[in-house]
């Protein structure tokens, strides 16, 4: 067990995403000991994962060791471990090595993973984008596809290798489609001798009637037009019915493609099952107005783990600003409880707008009455993301990478961490990470 002061309140936070880290940050100076449990040793800036997948940024530019973030906080302990369950009566978190962590207050900030709508077998052929491993796997498959196309003389095989399918027209799907199109048409244009990367097909398939469904219709229409100008083929109103090593089937048609990326849905962590709590269709824990689990005032759920609604009845979106606001609210409520003070009131989400980048110098922003598109929106998107990065070094590194990429189209993270040999399958045959 973690050593904590006998008379100090022990807060256990499961998950070091935006919400979990915010809780720990906001508890600085409080009379509490904090234990952060995460299966990985780093905090990840997920909004820029697609840029790692597209070879624009390296992994170290968007991830930070959790221990480093709290190196000056002796009351914060970090455990890299897998949670297997929660003993609510004993107030203990059960870890995969059999050990237990006792808590006074528990915060579940466990995030979400990919949802394949009952077709989990598709995950082998169409990885999603939630972790660094996902990003480097996708990056490896994209780059390996070009390498294999260069050395094959079969025109059909070459066409399949140079066809990239993205399933899902939300922000992640749009951003991936745009970055892959630019990678093929700009960055790699002069790197090969037997193939022309600029002739590659990038196909974005969305089951709904438009892209970016949470944005206004005019911005959705602009996004589609901008992607098509980049050379992306946009397919709307047609769900994918099959994914395999040979490609996808949609609308009764088969499209041969060796690289498929899933950006169509998310599924919450097993937190609701650990608690035996009510959950929504995506598996998120249903929480009360103060973000606690029914019947368990000492247990909070936030971010993608929680299902909660705003005053107008709409669900709080699963985005980083919402998770950070929830983390701040929970930390404040914990402190008030320790001082025997009532809560300030129920959690109130303040929507700060939706942002999505389409490609180099192209983005859309929806801030309610204010709607932006094009280059100006792109600059605001860049500045906002640089601001929320952790540390001056990372801000400068990402800014310089973007300036370099914007100026000459160079992407420096084009490394495939897998050697092709006659005795092992090719990179595209492997389902694991390539980096």
pLDDT digits (tens, 9 = 90+) for 56-68: 999 999 999 999 9
The verdict on 196 and 141 lying in the same domain is yes
pLDDT average, residue stretch 158-166: 98
At 11-31, the pLDDT tens digits run 999 999 999 999 999 999 999
* Domain shared by 44 and 162, yes or no: no
Give kind and range of the element (H or E) at residue 376: helix 375-388
Model pLDDT, residue 433 = 38
End-to-end CA distance of the chain: 34
pLDDT for position 280: 93
Does 147 participate in catalysis according to the annotation?
no
Tell me: pLDDT of 405 over 50: yes
Within a domain: 404: no
> For residue 251, is it left (φ>0), alpha (ψ between -120 and 50) or beta?
left
- Triad 17, 265, 256: Cα angle to 5°: 125
| Structural domain range at position 281 | 9-114+266-339
Q: What pLDDT digit, counting tens, does each position of 72-92 carry?
A: 999 999 999 999 999 999 999
> Is residue 355, in this structure, part of any structural domain at all?
no
Mean pLDDT of 2-17: 82
* pLDDT surpasses 70 at 430: no
Three-state DSSP state, 208: coil
pLDDT of residue 399: 83
Inform me whether the pLDDT recorded for 291 exceeds 70.
yes
189 and 88 in a common domain: no
**Is position 281 within any domain?**
yes
Same-domain status, 205 and 315: no
Alpha helices in 27-131 (DSSP H): 49-53, 66-69
DSSP letter assigned to residue 316: P
What is the CATH number for 294? 3.50.50.60
Claim to verify: residue 35 and residue 130 sit in the same structural domain: no
Q: What is the pLDDT of residue 426?
A: 45
The whole-angstrom separation of Cα 435 and Cα 419 is 11
Q: pLDDT value at position 4?
A: 52
HSE-up (13 A, CA, CB side) for residue 381: 26
What pLDDT score does 312 carry? 80
* Residue at 38 is within a domain: yes
Whether 219 shows a pLDDT value over 90: the answer reads yes
Q: What is the pLDDT of residue 406?
A: 65
Question: Residue range 287-297: average pLDDT?
Answer: 96
Please give the pLDDT value at position 5.
56
In this model, does residue 217 exceed pLDDT 80? yes
Is the pLDDT assigned to residue 2 strictly greater than 70? no
91-122 tens-digit pLDDT: 999 999 999 999 999 999 999 998 999 999 99
**Structural domains in the chain (count):** 2
Confidence of residue 400 (pLDDT cuts 50, 70, 90): confident
The rounded distance, in Å, linking the Cα atoms of 20 and 33 is 14
Is position 359 within any domain? no
- Residue 224, token pair as written in the block: 């589609």
Q: Of 339, 368, 400, which marks where a domain is finished?
A: 339
pLDDT at 335 over 60: yes
CA 21 – CA 19 distance, rounded (Å): 6
Per-residue pLDDT, averaged over 235-255, amounts to 97
Q: Is residue 66 part of a domain?
A: yes
Give me the pLDDT at residue 310, please: 83
Residue 422 predicted with pLDDT over 60: no
Which of 244, 263, 282 delimits the end of a domain? 263
User: Where does the pLDDT of residue 432 fall: very low under 50, low under 70, confident under 90, or very high at 90 and above?
Assistant: very low
Residues 324 and 273 in one domain: yes
Quick check: is 435 in a domain?
no
For residue 315, which phi and psi values (nearest 5 degrees)? -70, 145
How do residues 249-289 score in pLDDT, each as one tens digit? 999 999 999 999 999 988 989 999 999 999 999 999 999 99
Q: What pLDDT score was predicted for residue 423? A: 42
Give the active site residue among 22, 148, 175, 206. 175
d(CA 290, CA 330): 8
Mean of the per-residue pLDDT values for the chain?
Answer: 91
Strands 112-114 and 163-167: unpaired
Q: Is the domain of 148 the same as that of 243?
A: yes
pLDDT at position 183 over 50: yes
pLDDT of residue 163 exceeding 90: yes
Q: Establish if 323 belongs to a structural domain.
A: yes
Contacts of residue 62, defined as CB under 8 A and 6 or more positions apart, other chains included, come to 44, 45, 48, 49, 51, 52, 389, 394, 398
Q: Let me know if 3 is exposed, middle or buried by CB neighbors in 10 A (0-12, 13-18, 19+).
A: exposed
- Asked if residue 299 and residue 190 are part of one domain, the reply reads no
Do 184 and 231 sit in the same domain of this protein? yes
> What is the percentage of the chain residues whose pLDDT exceeds 70?
93
Shared domain for 24 and 141, answered yes or no, is no
> Band of the pLDDT at 313, cuts 50, 70, 90?
confident
The residue out of 304, 339, 374 marking a domain boundary is 339
In the chain, helix, strand, coil percent, each to 5?
35, 25, 40
Same domain, 136 and 197: yes
What DSSP state is assigned to residue 317?
Answer: P
Structure confidence at residue 394 (pLDDT) = 81
Looking at the fold, whether 103 and 220 belong to one and the same domain comes out as no
- pLDDT value at position 165? 98
pLDDT of 141-158, one tens digit each? 999 999 999 999 999 999
Q: What is the mean pLDDT of the segment spanning 162-179? A: 97
């Amino acid at each position: 067990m973690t050593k904590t002061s006998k008379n100090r309140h022990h807060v256990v936070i499961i998950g070091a995403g935006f919400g979990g880290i915010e809780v720990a940050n906001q508890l600085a100076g409080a009379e509490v000991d904090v234990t952060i449990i995460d299966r990985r040793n780093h905090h990840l800036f997920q909004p820029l994962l697609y840029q790692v997948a597209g070879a624009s940024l390296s992994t170290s530019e968007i991830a930070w060791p959790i221990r480093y973030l709290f190196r000056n906080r002796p009351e914060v302990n970090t455990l890299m471990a897998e949670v297997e369950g929660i003993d609510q009566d004993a107030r203990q978190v059960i870890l995969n090595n059999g050990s237990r962590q006792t808590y006074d207050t528990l915060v579940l900030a466990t995030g979400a993973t990919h949802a394949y709508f009952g077709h989990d077998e598709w995950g082998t052929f169409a990885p999603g984008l939630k972790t660094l491993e996902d990003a480097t796997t996708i990056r490896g498959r994209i780059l390996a596809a070009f390498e294999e196309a260069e050395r094959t003389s079969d025109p059909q095989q070459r066409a399949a290798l140079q066809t990239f399918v993205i399933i899902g027209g939300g922000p992640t799907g749009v951003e991936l489609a745009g970055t892959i199109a630019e990678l093929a048409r700009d960055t790699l244009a002069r790197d090969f001798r037997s193939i022309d990367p600029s002739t590659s097909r990038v196909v974005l398939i969305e089951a709904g009637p438009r892209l970016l469904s949470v944005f206004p219709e005019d911005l959705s229409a602009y996004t589609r037009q901008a992607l098509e100008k980049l050379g992306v083929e946009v397919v709307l109103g047609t769900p994918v019915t099959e994914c395999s090593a040979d490609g996808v089937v949609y609308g009764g048609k088969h499209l041969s493609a060796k690289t498929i990326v899933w950006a169509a849905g998310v599924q919450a962590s097993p937190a609701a099952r650990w608690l035996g709590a009510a959950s929504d269709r995506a598996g998120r824990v249903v929480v009360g107005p103060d973000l606690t689990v029914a019947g368990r005032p000492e247990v909070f759920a936030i971010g993608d783990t929680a299902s909660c609604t705003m005053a107008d009845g709409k669900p709080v979106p699963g985005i980083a600003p919402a998770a950070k606001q929830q983390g701040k609210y929970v930390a404040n409520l914990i402190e008030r409880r320790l001082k025997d003070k009532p809560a300030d009131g129920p959690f109130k989400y303040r929507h700060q707008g939706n942002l999505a980048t389409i490609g180099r110098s192209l983005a859309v922003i929806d801030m309610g009455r204010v709607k932006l598109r094009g280059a100006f929106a792109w600059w605001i998107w860049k500045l906002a993301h640089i601001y929320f990065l952790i540390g001056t070094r990372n801000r400068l590194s990402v800014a310089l990478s973007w300036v370099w990429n914007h100026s000459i189209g160079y992407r420096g993270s084009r490394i495939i961490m897998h050697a092709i040999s006659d005795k092992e399958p090719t990179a595209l045959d492997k389902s694991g990470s390539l980096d």
